[in-house]
């Protein structure tokens, strides 16, 4: 109790944030009930009929639902993997650029695409990757590789989606690793130099091991996105030629639920995704705790 007397101003300070959290994060959770209802906005929560698990059944009844979930997983896994490897490598390379101005300029340049929206980038990519006269295919033509229909061929579509996403986001993710690099104790490098370690040996034995915990954290957190393959990107790039390999859960929900106004179904799919993500986060959090001694709570 005396403890509380001393700390009540802090509790007071945290109160607004707590109220915000409750009002905007916990109250809306009641809406989850929509997933089990034939929800009609004008009837509200009281009037809409309960239909149990029908929405979930509908999700798995569709002939293409396995395909759609598989597409989502494949695209998301590749994105998560490359969004980890590329920034990790890039941060180490950038760290070796000793000229401050050059270092900073590169950092800013690779960071910029993060701020472009996929609506704009989608339009640019369609022209850029076009088979008649697109920039990429003209370059490939010079070296004798026949035009590739990047956005019209299923496998190339996945490739394009992953590469363009990584290109757009790796600069942003690099920042985290650069911050971790700045935290490495310079004394380690000094000691290594005294011992006669080469640049490569310093990287291998000091830089990379120091970055691994951060990589595990980033990887763990991104596992929650395993069912998010990036709606706005896919939606702006996909077409009927690549449905087989490119249609993901979110685009499918957009077409069936949002366009048709079936909020109950949209909620059910959202809930399904959240449950899977939560399980994955819990599992990976346990792993991160074990492997890297990383703890949030």
Position among 175, 262, 276, 292 found at the interface with another protein (CB under 8 A): 262
Question: Which C-beta is closer to another protein: that of 16 or that of 41?
Answer: 41
* Nearest CB to another protein, comparing residues 240 and 293: 240
Closer CB to another protein, residue 232 or residue 262? 262
The binder of another protein chosen from 2, 117, 240, 293 (CB under 8 A): 240
Is 186 strand, coil or helix? helix
Q: Does 209 bind another protein (CB under 8 A)?
A: no
Q: How far apart are CA 126 and CA 137, in angstroms?
A: 12
Min. distance of Cβ 64 from another protein in angstroms?
A: 6
Could you tell me which of 268, 274, 282 has the C-alpha nearest to residue 65? 268
How far is Cα 281 from Cα 289, in angstroms, rounded to an integer? Answer: 12
9, 16, 41, 196: which one contacts another protein (CB under 8 A)?
41
Is residue 131 involved in binding another protein (CB under 8 A)?
A: yes
Does residue 296 bind another protein (CB under 8 A)?
A: no
Q: Are 211 and 126 in contact (CB under 8 A)?
A: no
> Which one of the spans 42-50, 89-97, 198-206, 208-216 is the region binding another protein (CB under 8 A)?
42-50
Taking alpha carbons only, the member of 239, 82, 83, 237 closest to residue 160 is 237
Longest CA pairwise span in the chain (Å): 80
- 247-274: buried (b, 16+ CB within 10 Å) or exposed (e) per residue? bbbbbbbeebbeeeebbbbbbbbbbbbe
Check binding of 243 to another protein (CB under 8 A): yes
286 binds another protein (CB under 8 A): no
Does 272 interact with another protein (rule: CB under 8 A)? no
Q: Is 247 near another protein (CB under 8 A)?
A: yes
- Region near another protein per CB under 8 A, out of 23-31, 88-96, 164-172, 271-279: 23-31
Applying CB under 8 A, which part among 72-80, 250-258, 269-277, 282-290 lies near another protein? 250-258
Burial class (CB in 10 A: 0-12, 13-18, 19+), 213: middle
- CB neighbours of 289 closer than 8 A, spacing ≥ 6? 295
End-to-end CA distance of the chain: 24
- Kindly list the residues in this chain that would bind another protein in the complex (CB under 8 A): 22, 26-27, 29-30, 40-42, 44-46, 58, 61-64, 126, 130-133, 149, 151-152, 239-241, 243-244, 247, 252, 255-256, 260-262
């Amino acid at each position: 109790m005396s403890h509380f007397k001393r700390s009540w101003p802090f509790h007071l300070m945290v109160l607004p944030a707590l109220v915000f959290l409750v009002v905007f994060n916990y109250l809306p959770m009641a809406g989850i009930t929509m997933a089990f209802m034939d929800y009609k906005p004008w009837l509200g929560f009281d009037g809409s009929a309960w239909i149990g698990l029908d929405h979930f059944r509908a999700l798995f009844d569709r002939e293409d639902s396995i395909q759609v979930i598989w597409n989502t997983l494949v695209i998301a896994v590749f994105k998560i993997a490359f969004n980890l490897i590329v920034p990790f490598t890039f941060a180490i390379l950038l760290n070796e650029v000793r000229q401050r101005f050059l270092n900073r300029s590169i950092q800013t340049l690779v960071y910029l695409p993060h701020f472009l929206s996929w609506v704009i980038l989608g339009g640019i990519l369609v022209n850029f990757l076009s088979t008649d006269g697109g920039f990429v295919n003209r370059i490939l033509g010079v070296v004798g590789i026949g035009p590739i229909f990047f956005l019209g061929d299923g496998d190339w579509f996945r490739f394009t989606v992953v590469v363009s996403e990584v290109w757009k986001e790796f600069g942003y993710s690099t920042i985290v690793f650069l911050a971790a690099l700045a935290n490495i104790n310079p004394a380690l490098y000094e000691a290594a130099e005294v011992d006669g370690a080469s640049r490569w040996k310093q990287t291998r034995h000091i830089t990379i091991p120091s970055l691994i915990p951060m990589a595990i954290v980033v990887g763990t957190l991104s596992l929650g996105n395993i069912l998010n393959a990036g709606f706005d990107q896919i939606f702006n790039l996909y077409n009927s030629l690549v449905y087989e390999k490119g249609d993901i859960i979110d685009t499918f929900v957009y077409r069936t639920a949002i366009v048709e106004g079936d909020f109950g179904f949209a909620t059910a799919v959202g809930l399904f995704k959240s449950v899977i993500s939560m399980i994955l986060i819990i599992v990976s959090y346990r792993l991160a705790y074990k492997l890297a001694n990383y703890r949030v709570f």
